[in-house]
Protein backbone atom coordinates (compact mmCIF):
# COMPACT_ATOMS: atom_id res chain seq x y z
CA UNK A 1 0.00 0.00 0.00
CA UNK A 2 2.77 2.46 1.02
CA UNK A 3 4.85 1.36 -1.97
CA UNK A 4 1.87 1.90 -4.22
CA UNK A 5 1.31 5.44 -2.96
CA UNK A 6 5.01 6.24 -3.24
CA UNK A 7 5.13 4.95 -6.81
CA UNK A 8 2.13 7.06 -7.75
CA UNK A 9 3.64 10.10 -6.03
CA UNK A 10 6.88 9.74 -7.99
CA UNK A 11 4.88 9.47 -11.20
CA UNK A 12 2.92 12.58 -10.23
CA UNK A 13 6.11 14.53 -9.61
CA UNK A 14 7.42 13.45 -13.02
CA UNK A 15 4.24 14.71 -14.69
CA UNK A 16 4.45 18.02 -12.84
CA UNK A 17 8.12 18.46 -13.84
CA UNK A 18 7.23 17.90 -17.49
CA UNK A 19 4.39 20.40 -17.35
CA UNK A 20 6.67 22.81 -15.47
CA UNK A 21 9.20 22.48 -18.29
CA UNK A 22 6.55 23.37 -20.88
CA UNK A 23 5.35 26.29 -18.77
CA UNK A 24 8.93 27.49 -18.40
CA UNK A 25 9.60 27.27 -22.14
CA UNK A 26 6.39 29.20 -22.73
CA UNK A 27 7.36 31.81 -20.18
CA UNK A 28 10.93 32.19 -21.30
CA UNK A 29 10.88 31.77 -25.06
CA UNK A 30 7.44 32.81 -26.31
CA UNK A 31 8.11 36.46 -26.87
CA UNK A 32 10.73 38.31 -24.87
CA UNK A 33 9.81 38.85 -21.21
CA UNK A 34 11.81 42.05 -21.06
CA UNK A 35 10.10 43.49 -24.12
CA UNK A 36 6.78 42.76 -22.50
CA UNK A 37 7.71 44.59 -19.31
CA UNK A 38 9.34 47.78 -20.48
CA UNK A 39 8.01 50.64 -22.51
CA UNK A 40 8.97 51.33 -26.12
CA UNK A 41 11.39 54.12 -25.25
CA UNK A 42 13.59 52.15 -22.82
CA UNK A 43 17.22 52.23 -23.95
CA UNK A 44 19.13 49.08 -24.92
CA UNK A 45 21.41 49.55 -21.90
CA UNK A 46 18.45 49.61 -19.53
CA UNK A 47 17.04 46.51 -21.18
CA UNK A 48 20.35 44.69 -20.76
CA UNK A 49 20.45 45.70 -17.10
CA UNK A 50 16.90 44.47 -16.52
CA UNK A 51 17.78 41.24 -18.33
CA UNK A 52 20.72 40.87 -15.94
CA UNK A 53 18.60 41.63 -12.88
CA UNK A 54 15.89 39.14 -13.88
CA UNK A 55 18.57 36.46 -14.32
CA UNK A 56 17.65 35.93 -17.97
CA UNK A 57 21.32 35.71 -18.95
CA UNK A 58 21.98 32.71 -16.69
CA UNK A 59 22.16 29.18 -18.18
CA UNK A 60 18.75 27.78 -19.09
CA UNK A 61 19.00 24.94 -16.55
CA UNK A 62 19.61 27.37 -13.73
CA UNK A 63 16.69 29.53 -14.90
CA UNK A 64 14.47 26.45 -15.03
CA UNK A 65 15.46 25.48 -11.49
CA UNK A 66 14.74 28.99 -10.30
CA UNK A 67 11.38 28.97 -12.12
CA UNK A 68 10.42 25.67 -10.46
CA UNK A 69 11.55 26.88 -7.05
CA UNK A 70 9.38 29.97 -7.35
CA UNK A 71 6.46 28.04 -8.79
CA UNK A 72 6.54 25.68 -5.81
CA UNK A 73 6.09 28.74 -3.59
CA UNK A 74 3.24 30.00 -5.77
CA UNK A 75 5.32 32.77 -7.30
CA UNK A 76 4.74 32.91 -11.06
CA UNK A 77 5.99 36.42 -11.60
CA UNK A 78 4.01 39.52 -12.47
CA UNK A 79 1.09 39.64 -14.85
CA UNK A 80 1.81 41.82 -17.90
CA UNK A 81 -1.83 42.79 -18.08
CA UNK A 82 -2.55 43.68 -14.45
CA UNK A 83 1.01 44.46 -13.26
CA UNK A 84 0.24 42.43 -10.13
CA UNK A 85 1.69 39.12 -8.89
CA UNK A 86 0.10 36.23 -10.79
CA UNK A 87 -0.32 34.19 -7.62
CA UNK A 88 -2.50 36.91 -6.16
CA UNK A 89 -4.72 37.20 -9.24
CA UNK A 90 -5.20 33.44 -9.41
CA UNK A 91 -5.96 33.18 -5.70
CA UNK A 92 -8.75 35.71 -6.26
CA UNK A 93 -10.21 33.75 -9.13
CA UNK A 94 -9.69 30.19 -7.88
CA UNK A 95 -12.68 30.00 -5.45
CA UNK A 96 -15.15 30.97 -8.18
CA UNK A 97 -13.92 28.26 -10.52
CA UNK A 98 -13.65 25.58 -7.85
CA UNK A 99 -17.13 26.28 -6.50
CA UNK A 100 -18.62 26.17 -9.97
CA UNK A 101 -16.72 23.00 -10.91
CA UNK A 102 -17.50 21.11 -7.72
CA UNK A 103 -21.18 22.03 -7.77
CA UNK A 104 -21.31 20.99 -11.44
CA UNK A 105 -19.54 17.70 -10.70
CA UNK A 106 -21.86 16.91 -7.78
CA UNK A 107 -24.86 17.76 -9.93
CA UNK A 108 -23.57 15.53 -12.73
CA UNK A 109 -23.05 12.63 -10.31
CA UNK A 110 -26.27 13.15 -8.36
CA UNK A 111 -28.34 13.06 -11.54
CA UNK A 112 -26.15 10.93 -13.82
CA UNK A 113 -25.66 7.89 -11.59
CA UNK A 114 -29.34 7.34 -10.63
CA UNK A 115 -30.47 7.90 -14.21
CA UNK A 116 -27.81 5.48 -15.44
CA UNK A 117 -28.94 2.86 -12.93
CA UNK A 118 -32.59 3.39 -13.83
CA UNK A 119 -32.06 3.13 -17.57
CA UNK A 120 -29.80 0.12 -17.02
CA UNK A 121 -32.40 -1.74 -14.98
CA UNK A 122 -35.41 -0.74 -17.10
CA UNK A 123 -33.85 -1.04 -20.49
CA UNK A 124 -37.02 -1.03 -22.53
CA UNK A 125 -39.22 1.30 -20.46
CA UNK A 126 -40.69 4.43 -21.97
CA UNK A 127 -38.95 6.69 -19.46
CA UNK A 128 -35.60 5.03 -20.23
CA UNK A 129 -36.04 5.67 -23.92
CA UNK A 130 -36.92 9.31 -23.26
CA UNK A 131 -33.90 9.77 -21.00
CA UNK A 132 -31.62 8.12 -23.54
CA UNK A 133 -32.88 10.37 -26.32
CA UNK A 134 -32.43 13.40 -24.09
CA UNK A 135 -28.91 12.28 -23.20
CA UNK A 136 -27.96 12.23 -26.87
CA UNK A 137 -28.76 15.92 -26.98
CA UNK A 138 -26.64 16.50 -23.89
CA UNK A 139 -23.69 14.65 -25.36
CA UNK A 140 -23.84 16.26 -28.77
CA UNK A 141 -24.78 19.91 -28.14
CA UNK A 142 -21.77 22.18 -27.59
CA UNK A 143 -21.49 23.73 -24.14
CA UNK A 144 -21.65 27.35 -25.27
CA UNK A 145 -24.87 26.70 -27.16
CA UNK A 146 -26.48 25.11 -24.09
CA UNK A 147 -25.36 28.07 -22.00
CA UNK A 148 -26.79 30.57 -24.46
CA UNK A 149 -30.05 28.62 -24.76
CA UNK A 150 -30.41 28.57 -20.98
CA UNK A 151 -29.76 32.30 -20.82
CA UNK A 152 -32.35 32.97 -23.53
CA UNK A 153 -35.00 30.91 -21.77
CA UNK A 154 -34.39 31.56 -18.08
CA UNK A 155 -32.84 35.02 -18.08
CA UNK A 156 -34.19 36.81 -21.12
CA UNK A 157 -37.64 35.27 -21.60
CA UNK A 158 -38.61 34.22 -18.09
CA UNK A 159 -36.34 36.57 -16.18
CA UNK A 160 -35.94 34.07 -13.33
CA UNK A 161 -32.18 33.84 -13.09
CA UNK A 162 -29.28 36.23 -13.70
CA UNK A 163 -27.40 35.72 -16.96
CA UNK A 164 -23.92 36.74 -15.86
CA UNK A 165 -21.61 37.23 -12.88
CA UNK A 166 -21.38 35.49 -9.56
CA UNK A 167 -23.83 37.53 -7.45
CA UNK A 168 -22.92 38.67 -3.97
CA UNK A 169 -20.04 36.82 -2.34
CA UNK A 170 -18.99 36.37 1.27
CA UNK A 171 -15.30 36.33 2.20
CA UNK A 172 -14.09 33.50 4.44
CA UNK A 173 -10.47 34.44 4.95
CA UNK A 174 -8.95 34.57 1.44
CA UNK A 175 -11.71 32.34 0.06
CA UNK A 176 -14.76 34.06 -1.36
CA UNK A 177 -17.93 32.04 -1.59
CA UNK A 178 -21.16 32.63 -3.44
CA UNK A 179 -22.84 29.66 -1.77
CA UNK A 180 -24.00 31.65 1.26
CA UNK A 181 -26.03 34.36 -0.43
CA UNK A 182 -29.31 34.11 -2.32
CA UNK A 183 -27.99 36.02 -5.32
CA UNK A 184 -24.82 33.91 -5.32
CA UNK A 185 -26.83 30.69 -5.39
CA UNK A 186 -29.17 32.01 -8.08
CA UNK A 187 -26.20 33.03 -10.21
CA UNK A 188 -24.68 29.59 -9.82
CA UNK A 189 -27.65 27.62 -11.18
CA UNK A 190 -27.36 28.28 -14.92
CA UNK A 191 -23.57 27.99 -15.25
CA UNK A 192 -23.53 24.86 -13.07
CA UNK A 193 -26.20 23.19 -15.22
CA UNK A 194 -24.39 24.22 -18.39
CA UNK A 195 -21.09 22.83 -17.15
CA UNK A 196 -22.69 19.67 -15.68
CA UNK A 197 -24.90 18.69 -18.60
CA UNK A 198 -22.24 17.05 -20.73
CA UNK A 199 -20.67 15.22 -17.78
CA UNK A 200 -24.11 14.22 -16.54
CA UNK A 201 -25.06 12.55 -19.79
CA UNK A 202 -21.62 11.00 -20.09
CA UNK A 203 -21.80 9.53 -16.57
CA UNK A 204 -25.36 8.36 -17.17
CA UNK A 205 -24.48 6.56 -20.38
CA UNK A 206 -21.39 5.07 -18.78
CA UNK A 207 -23.24 3.84 -15.68
CA UNK A 208 -25.98 2.40 -17.91
CA UNK A 209 -23.48 0.56 -20.11
CA UNK A 210 -21.62 -0.79 -17.07
CA UNK A 211 -24.85 -1.85 -15.39
CA UNK A 212 -25.96 -3.74 -18.50
CA UNK A 213 -22.56 -5.40 -18.63
CA UNK A 214 -22.56 -6.38 -14.96
CA UNK A 215 -26.17 -7.58 -14.98
CA UNK A 216 -25.17 -10.17 -17.56
CA UNK A 217 -22.41 -11.64 -15.41
CA UNK A 218 -22.60 -15.01 -13.71
CA UNK A 219 -22.25 -13.61 -10.22
CA UNK A 220 -25.40 -11.53 -10.65
CA UNK A 221 -27.26 -14.56 -11.98
CA UNK A 222 -25.91 -16.56 -9.08
CA UNK A 223 -26.91 -13.82 -6.62
CA UNK A 224 -30.47 -14.08 -7.98
CA UNK A 225 -30.30 -17.86 -7.79
CA UNK A 226 -29.30 -17.51 -4.15
CA UNK A 227 -32.64 -15.76 -3.65
CA UNK A 228 -31.24 -12.37 -2.66
CA UNK A 229 -33.80 -9.54 -2.87
CA UNK A 230 -33.67 -7.48 -6.06
CA UNK A 231 -32.63 -4.38 -4.17
CA UNK A 232 -29.56 -6.14 -2.78
CA UNK A 233 -28.66 -7.67 -6.15
CA UNK A 234 -29.13 -4.44 -8.10
CA UNK A 235 -27.51 -2.00 -5.71
CA UNK A 236 -25.28 -4.07 -3.43
CA UNK A 237 -23.76 -6.22 -6.15
CA UNK A 238 -24.48 -4.84 -9.63
CA UNK A 239 -24.07 -1.12 -8.91
CA UNK A 240 -20.95 -1.52 -6.82
CA UNK A 241 -19.27 -3.49 -9.60
CA UNK A 242 -20.52 -1.07 -12.23
CA UNK A 243 -19.07 1.88 -10.32
CA UNK A 244 -15.49 0.60 -10.33
CA UNK A 245 -14.72 1.84 -13.87
CA UNK A 246 -17.06 4.81 -13.37
CA UNK A 247 -14.79 6.13 -10.60
CA UNK A 248 -11.88 6.52 -13.00
CA UNK A 249 -13.84 8.27 -15.70
CA UNK A 250 -15.60 10.53 -13.21
CA UNK A 251 -12.28 11.49 -11.63
CA UNK A 252 -10.79 12.37 -14.98
CA UNK A 253 -13.95 14.25 -15.85
CA UNK A 254 -13.68 16.36 -12.69
CA UNK A 255 -10.28 17.50 -13.94
CA UNK A 256 -11.85 18.18 -17.31
CA UNK A 257 -14.65 20.19 -15.69
CA UNK A 258 -12.11 22.46 -14.02
CA UNK A 259 -10.07 22.79 -17.19
CA UNK A 260 -13.01 23.28 -19.54
CA UNK A 261 -14.87 25.68 -17.29
CA UNK A 262 -13.29 28.23 -19.64
CA UNK A 263 -16.19 28.13 -22.09
CA UNK A 264 -18.94 28.23 -19.48
CA UNK A 265 -17.19 31.02 -17.58
CA UNK A 266 -16.87 33.04 -20.75
CA UNK A 267 -20.52 32.59 -21.67
CA UNK A 268 -21.68 33.57 -18.18
CA UNK A 269 -18.97 36.17 -17.47
CA UNK A 270 -18.12 34.06 -14.43
CA UNK A 271 -15.20 35.71 -12.60
CA UNK A 272 -13.14 32.51 -12.39
CA UNK A 273 -9.85 31.27 -13.78
CA UNK A 274 -11.28 30.26 -17.13
CA UNK A 275 -12.50 33.78 -17.79
CA UNK A 276 -9.10 35.05 -16.63
CA UNK A 277 -7.17 32.77 -18.97
CA UNK A 278 -9.24 33.78 -22.00
CA UNK A 279 -8.40 37.40 -21.26
CA UNK A 280 -4.75 36.48 -20.66
CA UNK A 281 -4.51 34.72 -24.02
CA UNK A 282 -5.97 37.76 -25.74
CA UNK A 283 -3.36 39.92 -24.03
CA UNK A 284 -0.45 37.43 -24.48
CA UNK A 285 -0.11 37.51 -20.68
CA UNK A 286 2.44 34.67 -20.56
CA UNK A 287 2.98 34.47 -16.75
CA UNK A 288 -0.76 34.01 -16.18
CA UNK A 289 -0.92 31.36 -18.89
CA UNK A 290 2.09 29.50 -17.48
CA UNK A 291 0.62 29.59 -13.97
CA UNK A 292 -2.78 28.43 -15.19
CA UNK A 293 -1.17 25.57 -17.10
CA UNK A 294 0.66 24.38 -14.00
CA UNK A 295 -2.36 24.76 -11.75
CA UNK A 296 -4.64 22.74 -14.03
CA UNK A 297 -1.93 20.10 -14.38
CA UNK A 298 -1.70 20.01 -10.60
CA UNK A 299 -5.46 19.47 -10.27
CA UNK A 300 -5.36 16.65 -12.81
CA UNK A 301 -2.46 14.95 -11.08
CA UNK A 302 -3.99 15.35 -7.61
CA UNK A 303 -7.39 14.03 -8.76
CA UNK A 304 -5.73 11.11 -10.48
CA UNK A 305 -3.88 10.21 -7.34
CA UNK A 306 -7.11 10.31 -5.33
CA UNK A 307 -8.90 8.21 -7.97
CA UNK A 308 -6.16 5.60 -7.82
CA UNK A 309 -6.42 5.44 -4.05
CA UNK A 310 -10.23 5.14 -4.27
CA UNK A 311 -9.85 2.36 -6.81
CA UNK A 312 -7.53 0.67 -4.43
CA UNK A 313 -10.07 0.97 -1.62
CA UNK A 314 -12.99 -0.34 -3.71
CA UNK A 315 -11.41 -3.21 -5.60
CA UNK A 316 -9.90 -5.90 -3.40
CA UNK A 317 -8.14 -7.51 -6.37
CA UNK A 318 -5.74 -4.57 -6.58
CA UNK A 319 -4.84 -4.79 -2.93
CA UNK A 320 -3.23 -8.17 -3.37
CA UNK A 321 -1.96 -8.17 -6.93
CA UNK A 322 0.64 -5.56 -7.62
CA UNK A 323 0.48 -3.26 -10.59
CA UNK A 324 -2.50 -1.13 -9.68
CA UNK A 325 -0.99 1.71 -11.67
CA UNK A 326 -2.47 0.45 -14.91
CA UNK A 327 -5.36 2.86 -14.57
CA UNK A 328 -3.47 6.12 -14.41
CA UNK A 329 -3.34 9.04 -16.76
Partner 1 sequence: MSQPLLEVEHLRVEIPTRRGVLTALDDVSFAIAPGEVLGVVGESGAGKSLTGAAVIGLLEPPARVAGGRIGFAGRRIDDLADPAMRRLRGKEIGAIFQDPLTSLDPLYTIGSQLAETIRVHLGLGRAGARRRALELLNEVGIPAPERRIDQYPHQFSGGMRQRVVIALALAANPRLVIADEPTTALDVSIQAQIIALLRRLTREHGTAVMLVTHDMGVIAETADRVAVMYAGRIVEIGAVRDVVLRPQHPYTAGLMGAIPVLGARRERLLQIDGAMPRLGAIPGGCAFHPRCAHAFDRCRSERPELLPAGPSAAACWLHAEADHG
Of residues 70 and 216, the one with the C-beta less far from partner 1: 216
Q: Does residue 251 contact residue 299 with C-beta atoms inside 8 Å?
A: no
User: Binding of partner 1 at residue 323 (CB under 8 A)?
Assistant: no
User: Binding of partner 1 at residue 229 (CB under 8 A)?
Assistant: yes
Candidate list 43, 320, 323, 326; residue touching partner 1; CB under 8 A: 320
Count of residues engaged in binding partner 1, rule: CB under 8 A: 25
Task: Identify the sign of the CA torsion 82, 86, 92, 96.
Answer: positive
Q: At what angle do helices 86-121 and 240-259 cross, to 10 degrees?
A: 150
Candidate list 82, 224, 263, 327; residue touching partner 1; CB under 8 A: 224
Long-range CB pairs of 185-188 (<8 Å, 24+ gap) are 186/161, 186/162, 187/161, 187/162, 188/99, 188/100, 188/103
Residue 230 beta carbon to partner 1: minimum distance, rounded to whole angstroms: 8
Phi and psi at 161, nearest 5°, equal -125, 150
The interface mask with partner 1, positions 75-94, x = CB under 8 A, is --------------------
Q: What is residue 122's three-state secondary structure?
A: coil
Of residues 92 and 315, the one with the C-beta less far from partner 1: 315
Q: What is the maximal distance between C-alpha atoms in the chain?
A: 87
* DSSP string over 175-236: EEESTTSHHHHHHHHHHHHHHHHHHHHHHHHHHHHHHHHHHTSHHHHHHHHTT--HHIIIII
| Site stretch for partner 1 (CB under 8 A), options 52-60, 81-89, 193-201, 214-222 | 214-222
CA-to-CA dists, residue 235 to 113, 143, 230, 303, angstroms: 12, 32, 8, 26
Of residues 124 and 140, the one with the C-beta less far from partner 1: 124
Residue 239 per-residue DSSP state? I
| Listed residue (255, 279, 251) closest to 265, CA to CA | 279
Residue 186 beta carbon to partner 1: minimum distance, rounded to whole angstroms: 42
User: Binding of partner 1 at residue 3 (CB under 8 A)?
Assistant: no
Considering only residues 112 through 131, tell me which ones interact with partner 1, judged by CB under 8 A: none
The interface mask with partner 1, positions 242-281, x = CB under 8 A, is --x-------------------------------------
Candidate list 41, 218, 282, 323; residue touching partner 1; CB under 8 A: 218
Candidate list 223, 246, 273, 301; residue touching partner 1; CB under 8 A: 223
User: Binding of partner 1 at residue 317 (CB under 8 A)?
Assistant: yes
Candidate list 217, 284, 322, 325; residue touching partner 1; CB under 8 A: 217
How many whole angstroms separate alpha carbon 314 and alpha carbon 67? 39
Candidate list 240, 284, 313, 329; residue touching partner 1; CB under 8 A: 240
- Residue 256 contacts by C-beta under 8 Å, 6 or more apart in sequence? 199
* Residues at the interface with partner 1 (CB under 8 A): 217-219, 221-230, 232, 236-237, 240-241, 244, 314-317, 320-321
Amino acid sequence: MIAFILRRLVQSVAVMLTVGCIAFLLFRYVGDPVNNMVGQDTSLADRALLRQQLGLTDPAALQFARFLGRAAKGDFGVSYQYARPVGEIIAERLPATLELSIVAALLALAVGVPMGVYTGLHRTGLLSRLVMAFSLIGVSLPTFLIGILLIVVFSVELGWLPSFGRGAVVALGWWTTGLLTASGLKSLILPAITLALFQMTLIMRLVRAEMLEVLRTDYIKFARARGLPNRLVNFGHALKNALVPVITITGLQLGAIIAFAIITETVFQWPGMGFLIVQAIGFADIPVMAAYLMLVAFFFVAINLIVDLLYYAVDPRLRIERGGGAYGL
